[in-house]
């Protein structure tokens, strides 16, 4: 993952291309790059083996931030999925939130959250959003209006909390 940072070159926040897709709209290459980024961050960097393919992607909208590497090949630098209500929680849920190495320091995580919550409010007006967040990111999500609504719990060896953003 360290080599990917230099493979992107000198990137700027405005170089990120944002894309919304349903599961069925994703190409095979796009899905491959998403899964590659998710495994890279959640399994490799966080040293956390878990079953990433959980059957939820098919019921989600996917927000992808792309940056071309030095060879011009697009790489996922920010990603999340907006899960439909009734799939994970009664409310819609933002999940699998990540910023990969090349996107860090560009504000990609904040822009990702701003975009997904704006889309949530258009798609599900007047509806809350519930997340299962890694506890160390509590303050980050609080900055977007999420409030902690559970005690810490262990998920795959990482402390998590449930958070809710009111409608």
Of 99-103, 144-148, 150-154, which gets the smallest average pLDDT?
99-103
User: Rounded CA gap, 60 and 25, in Å?
Assistant: 11
Mean pLDDT computed over 9-29: 91
Confidence of residue 57 (pLDDT cuts 50, 70, 90): very high
Residue count (the chain) = 167
pLDDT of 4 over the 60 cut: no
Confidence of residue 3 (pLDDT cuts 50, 70, 90): very low
**pLDDT value of position 8:** 52
Confidence of residue 142 (pLDDT cuts 50, 70, 90): very high
Q: Looking at the domain 2-165, which fold is it?
A: Aminopeptidase (3.40.630)
Contact 142, 164 (CB under 8 A): no
Which residue in 162, 153, 159, 108 sits closest to 136, CA to CA? Answer: 159
Return the higher-pLDDT residue of 9 and 76.
Answer: 76
**pLDDT value of position 10:** 72
For residue 152, what are its two tokens?
């810490």
Of 29-33, 40-44, 142-146, which gets the smallest average pLDDT?
40-44
Q: Could you tell me which residues are beta bridge partners of residue 94?
A: 82
Q: Which residues 6+ apart lie within 8 Å of 21 measured at CB?
A: 30, 61, 62, 64
**pLDDT value of position 1:** 44
Residue with tokens 């030095």: 70
pTM: predicted TM-score of the whole model, two decimal places: 0.91
Name the strands in the sheet holding 93-99, side by side, starting at the edge strand that comes first in the sequence. 17-22, 60-68, 74-83, 93-99
Residue 148 is classified by DSSP as E
Residue 113 is classified by DSSP as H
């Amino acid at each position: 993952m360290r080599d990917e940072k230099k493979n992107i070159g000198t990137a700027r926040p405005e170089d990120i291309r944002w894309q919304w897709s349903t599961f069925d709209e994703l190409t095979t290459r796009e899905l491959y790059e998403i899964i590659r980024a998710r495994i890279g961050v959640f399994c490799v960097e966080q040293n956390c083996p878990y079953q990433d393919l959980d059957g939820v992607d098919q019921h989600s909208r996917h927000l992808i931030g792309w940056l071309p590497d030095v060879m011009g090949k697009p790489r996922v630098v920010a990603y999340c999925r907006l899960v439909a209500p009734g799939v994970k929680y009664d409310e819609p849920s933002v999940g699998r939130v990540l910023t990969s190495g090349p996107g860090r320091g560009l504000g990609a995580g904040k822009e990702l959250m701003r975009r997904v919550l704006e889309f949530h409010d258009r798609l599900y007006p007047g509806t809350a959003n519930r997340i299962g967040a890694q506890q160390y990111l509590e303050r980050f999500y609080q900055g977007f209006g999420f409030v902690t609504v559970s005690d810490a719990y262990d998920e795959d060896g990482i402390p998590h909390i449930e958070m809710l953003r009111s409608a």
